[in-house]
Amino acid sequence: MQLTVNPSRMNGPLSLCSSIMKLTAKSLGFSSKKHQDWLVDQQHDIISLLHEKNDAQDALLRNPNSASLRQSWKELRNKVPTDIRQMENKWWTQKAEEIQRFADTNDSQRFYEALKTLNGPTQHAAHPVKSKDGTKVIEDHEGSSLAWLSIIKNYSTVSTQLISL
């Protein structure tokens, strides 16, 4: 038994996915990131350290008999995790000092804002959706589901049998 693939049928799920993504972006927009993370803040330095270590390893693999290349790679292999740990510790120390400054000056609003940015976003049970005309925000689960159902029915080619599943 041979499996045949009809290329015209392959566009259906892909076009549905891209349609849903475009509609979601148009209806809801994109959220801005409020969470702070040491890894993201130090990303460029970490990448450059890893590239340096990988370049040393590539040079060693091209010339495995070189003692100087092997020594250089071993030094970088040990240095990179230490440097990354030091970057993380320095970042956390700076954030702790910043938050402590807010606490010492009785600036409770900035104190709690700083804590919230470090802890990340809170989880919400319901994800709000804008109404069709964009004037009202629907926050309850049932209303949100109905809003998405109407959006998909209006803007996609999916049959109502698939939507009702």
Q: What is the pLDDT of residues 59-74, one digit of tens each?
A: 999 999 999 999 999 9
Torsion of CA 14, 20, 25, 26, to 10 degrees: 120
d(Cα 158, Cα 153) in Å, to the nearest integer? 7
Cβ–Cβ < 8 Å for 93, 118: no
Longest CA span, the chain: 76
Q: What are 43's two structure tokens?
A: 């990303």
Residue 62 one-letter amino acid: R
Residue ranges with strand state E in 76-122: none
Q: What percent of the chain has pLDDT over 70?
A: 74
Torsion of CA 80, 82, 85, 90, to 10 degrees: -110
Q: Is the pLDDT of residue 4 over 70?
A: no
pLDDT, position 23:
76
Model pTM score: 0.53
Q: Return the CA Rg of the chain.
A: 26
Residue extents of the structural domains in the chain: 38-119, 124-165
Q: What are 11's two structure tokens?
A: 């566009």
Cβ–Cβ < 8 Å for 69, 56: yes
Query: Of the candidates 122, 104, 97, 127, which has an alpha carbon nearest to the alpha carbon of residue 28?
Result: 127
Residue with tokens 């890894």: 39
Q: Is the pLDDT of residue 107 over 80?
A: yes
pLDDT, position 28:
72
Residue with tokens 């964009």: 134
Q: Is the pLDDT of residue 110 over 60?
A: yes
Give the residue, 142 or 102, on which the prediction is more confident: 102
Note the pLDDT tens digit of each residue in 78-90. 999 999 999 999 9
Averaged pLDDT of the chain: 78
pLDDT, position 24:
76
CA 50 from chain centre, in angstroms, equals 21
